[in-house]
Structure 1
Amino acid sequence: MAALDKAQRQLLMGELPGLKRFCLSLTAEPADADDLLQVTVERLLQRGMPDDAHVAKWAYRVCKNLWIDELRWREVRQRHSAAEEDGGGTPQDAATGEGSLQLDRVSQAMAALPEDQRAALVLVAVEGYSYAEVAEILEIPIGTVMSRIARGRKSLAEKVEWSPGS
């Protein structure tokens, strides 16, 4: 793999807003999302990508793999420090600010989804990728993408209690 050429760098820069949303969908924490985005971009700039790679798909895949590595590292660290410390739970997201109640409910429901469903939903519903593209990015069968999307949408609908006019 070669360093990113000028065209790949420009495409990567254009992909940053979507990649940041994807990071947030994986982490559910803004600070973790910022860190993941930074590590992803650093990795892409340092190691590059194949000349024939689709920049967005490659960036999302690298991001997903880095998050998986981070989760594994956290699990190992927690296991080793559990004997010395009393557990430190993750802070719960609180609805903040002046946003609408509905938006707060949707945000909380999204954060409560399992990571795999949340990532698939964000890539399809927010980023506009096709199921086939999401399957390629997440390196899973398209049927699994469809299943995750369906379960995620159903769970969101139940948690948010969709009703006409709300």
Structure 2
Amino acid sequence: MDYAVIEPHIPRLRRYARALTGDAARADDLVQDTLERALRKFALWRRGSDLRAWLFTLMHNVYVNQRRAERPTLAWDATRDDIPQPGSQEHALVVRDLAAAIKTLPPEFREVVLLIGLEDFSYAETARVLGIAQGTVMSRLARGRERLRRALEGESGQRIRRVK
């Protein structure tokens, strides 16, 4: 069997794992657990089907199982030094605020927002990865985006005015 087909997907798996867990070490563990499961179950992957979606489905299932076992979920921490950020202080503040807003999302909304927004999955791919209906994906995405918008604007709906 040619397991080398999995290797090009590792950077995207790691990025998604990092966004889910918020911690580099936990993300590496999640990727390792996912790859271990993928290698054990590689015979179950249907040749010609989307390997990326299959790997993300495995990762989602591993993550859900770990989250159930742990209970509280660690969230993404944008203040970490090992997250590359552009030099702009204003951009860093926007990233920090977005990370904080993502942290407040319930896991089912966060997963959909990250798969579609960060990993560029389609609604259908996201539905397959998470094992939910496409309409549920669309609904969770809309609600997740709305919660992000409200969190970024403040609960009152008024933005903080920038002073230059």
Give the distance between the partners of 1:116 and 1:29, measured in 2 at CA. 19
Q: Which runs of 4+ in 1 moved over 6 A?
A: 89-92
Q: What is the one-letter code of the residue matched to 1:129?
A: F
Q: CA deviation digits over 1:65-110, x for unaligned, max 9?
A: 11121122225xx9xxxxxxxxxx9699473557611111111111
What is aligned with 1:83? Answer: none
- Verify: 1:56 aligned to 2:48, yes or no: no
| In structure 2, C-alpha distance between the alignment counterparts of 1:125 and 1:90, rounded to whole Å | 20
User: Does residue 63 of structure 2 align to residue 67 of structure 1?
Assistant: yes
Q: Match of 1:65, SS?
A: helix
Say what the alpha-carbon RMSD is for the aligned residues. Answer: 2.9
Matches within 5 A, 1:1-166: 5-6=1-2, 9-10=4-5, 12-48=6-42, 49-52=44-47, 53-75=49-71, 93=77, 95-96=79-80, 100-161=92-153
TM superposition shift of 1:25: 3.2
The structure with higher relative contact order (CA 8 Å, sep 6+) is: 1
- TM-score, normalising length from structure 1? 0.75
Shift of 1:135: 0.5
Instruction: Give the AA of the match of 1:73.
Output: A
Q: Aligned pair in 2 of structure 1 residues 101, 159: CA closer, same or farther (>3 Å)?
A: same
Q: Sort the Cα spacing of 1:28 and 1:90 in 2 relative to 1 into closer, same or farther, 3 A.
A: closer
Aligned partners of 1:31 and 1:111: how far apart in 2? 18
Structure-2 separation of matches of 1:35 and 1:24: 10
**TM-score, normalisation: structure 2:** 0.76
Return closer, same or farther for 1:90/1:138 CA change in 2, 3 Å cut-off: closer
Shift of 1:46: 2.5
Distance 2:14 2:105 in 1: 18
What percentage of residue pairs aligned between the two structures are identical?
Answer: 31
C-alpha spacing 1:36/1:90, structure 2 compared with 1 (3 Å):
closer
Q: How far apart in 1 are the matches of 2:4 and 2:78? A: 37
How many residue pairs are counted as aligned between the two chains? Answer: 147
Are the aligned partners of 2:18 and 2:24 in contact in 1 as well (CA < 8 Å)? yes
Distance 2:62 2:139 in 1: 24
